[in-house]
Structure 1
């Protein structure tokens, strides 16, 4: 067992003072091993946008699946009633929403504001952190558009683990889950994945050459003994 561990460790290192064939072999094995985890994350999260059964299975695995309501019969559409707008009550400005969000969420970040319509009285402000290691997940506050009162506050890190994973599927797939840090990691991992067919083909060609040399040497020996 210790010998196996030693051989595994040697297989995960690149022998820089060796010939190009050995370096190519080491690059193929070691870089593939180090990038395997991130390639698995990309591969496991990608199919959910193409296959509904896969998306449903992932949601059920994470216990975030919600059944879609089934419409029984033909629903009669009612004409929407236009609510009267009270112009006497001042509506908050964009700067007001940002200021209220800053008081509720004490960090510097980017904003995404959903302005309420005439019938809605609550605006939604999403805020994401900025920085090299900033997570892609956003916190959200709901603000009354007249009084400026925060009616609801959703903090991402306070959610259960399964909901955090479910809400980060896209970020995990594209590599933005921890900002620029994971973007650079995914960039190099994708470069490695692109190089694997090239290094693998070189290994295969070299093995074919070795087999041909052995076959020629074996035939020469046969002729000599004959």
Structure 2
């Protein structure tokens, strides 16, 4: 068996084993790519009119959002200020265990919309994309292994695509639309697979980095030459035995005022749950709304509100900056709207490959069976 035939066997059987998962993950990924754009068009409560006044404090947003949910503590909610022209949100889990997101006017604290995310279309799409609606522990292996196989498929596909002779090169770059449907299907698999290979690899690897954080940490460590920036060696330690003076105002308000002063140019602010006093309160600020790459990170004492640690984007190492851009890279938004289009097309083509590949395999199998029929008939005479 030649090397290329062996690669072909690997490509075939791995493709048949992982095809269904790759198809589902790719289609849902394509749908999710434009989720913010679609929601901005269909959910008017996501936008507000910019006002000259400063936004209200987080404690006021929390009080308004939780007014109809007695028993849910403000310290368990997540608060996000997105941008001057966008509504703020408060996210929490209610007493029934439902994930609730409340949209509010950041300038008045008025509730604009309350959503149960469990029944939201894009939440369901995201859940299928990440977990196939399976338990997370199971999905981690089913999706992770299938996407790992898809990476191998891309690489073996490039080996099979590579033309042996110069006269074959033009054929490998173009689809012969006027040919019979089986030939068109073959070209769709090979030609589109080649064009989408680089995008598919980026999407697949960045997805694997989310499933297996140790892979991303390994890349970050390698990029930094095994020497992270000194500031990144810091860890947020909380001395629970130390006596501290309790803050005279809500912790979320202290956090908000502090990060507004320390990261004045950042549009988006995400304040995590302030907790029960046993762990630091965390906050992240982002340079641009709905983009998660360029961010500053903060940790505060849960009782006094004292700033314990800060990590600014500008001081991060190259490896950490690469790690931070993984989500925006996975969705294509690292390159703006054009990047989303590329990610969308790459996802669609990735979804088509298991289908066109299966058709090729079935056609060859059917052809092999037909070629054996005359021999069998002669043998029975």
TM category, shorter: 0.5 to 0.7
Match of 1:111 among 267, 271, 274: 267
> Aligned partners of 1:183 and 1:35: how far apart in 2?
14
Deviation, 1:22, is: 0.4
CA 1:76/1:191 → structure 2, altered by over 3 Å: closer, same or farther? closer
1:165-211 Cα shifts (integer Å, max 9, x gaps): 23211111122111111111111111111111211111111101211
Q: Quick check: 1:184 aligned with 2:344?
A: no
Quote the residue 1:24 is aligned against.
185
Quote the residue 1:149 is aligned against.
none
Match of 1:168 among 309, 318, 325: 325
Match of 2:374 among 195, 211, 217: 217
> Aligned partners of 1:52 and 1:25: how far apart in 2?
37
Quote the residue 1:128 is aligned against.
288
CA 1:60/1:78 → structure 2, altered by over 3 Å: closer, same or farther? same
> Aligned partners of 2:243 and 2:216: how far apart in 1?
35
> Aligned partners of 1:41 and 1:68: how far apart in 2?
31
Contact 1:127-1:138 within 8 A present in 2 as well: yes
Unaligned runs of 5+ in 2: 1-162, 250-256, 272-282, 297-311
Quote the residue 1:151 is aligned against.
none
TM-score normalised by length of structure 2: 0.39
1:39-93 Cα shifts (integer Å, max 9, x gaps): 211222223333343233122122275557598xx955223324679xxxxxxxx
> Aligned partners of 1:61 and 1:78: how far apart in 2?
38
> Aligned partners of 2:166 and 2:244: how far apart in 1?
71
Contact 1:45-1:173 within 8 A present in 2 as well: yes
> Aligned partners of 1:46 and 1:7: how far apart in 2?
34
Larger Rg: 1
State the SS of the aligned residue for 2:165: helix
> Aligned partners of 2:284 and 2:200: how far apart in 1?
35
Q: Quick check: 1:194 aligned with 2:194?
A: no
> Aligned partners of 1:124 and 1:27: how far apart in 2?
44
> Aligned partners of 1:53 and 1:159: how far apart in 2?
19
TM-score normalised by length of structure 1: 0.61
Contact 1:126-1:139 within 8 A present in 2 as well: yes
1:110-139 Cα shifts (integer Å, max 9, x gaps): 822579xxxxxxx99643289xxxx86447
Quote the residue 2:128 is aligned against.
none
Contact 2:220-2:320 within 8 A present in 1 as well: no
CA 1:161/1:4 → structure 2, altered by over 3 Å: closer, same or farther? farther
Quote the residue 2:241 is aligned against.
77
Q: Quick check: 1:5 aligned with 2:161?
A: no
CA 1:41/1:29 → structure 2, altered by over 3 Å: closer, same or farther? same
> Aligned partners of 2:349 and 2:284: how far apart in 1?
41
CA 1:24/1:180 → structure 2, altered by over 3 Å: closer, same or farther? same
Match of 2:216 among 48, 55, 71: 55
Contact 1:11-1:29 within 8 A present in 2 as well: yes
How big is the alpha-carbon RMSD for the aligned residues of Structure 1 and Structure 2? 4.4
Quote the residue 2:15 is aligned against.
none
> Aligned partners of 2:376 and 2:323: how far apart in 1?
62
In the TM superposition, 1:136-155 aligns within 5 A as 137-138=293-294
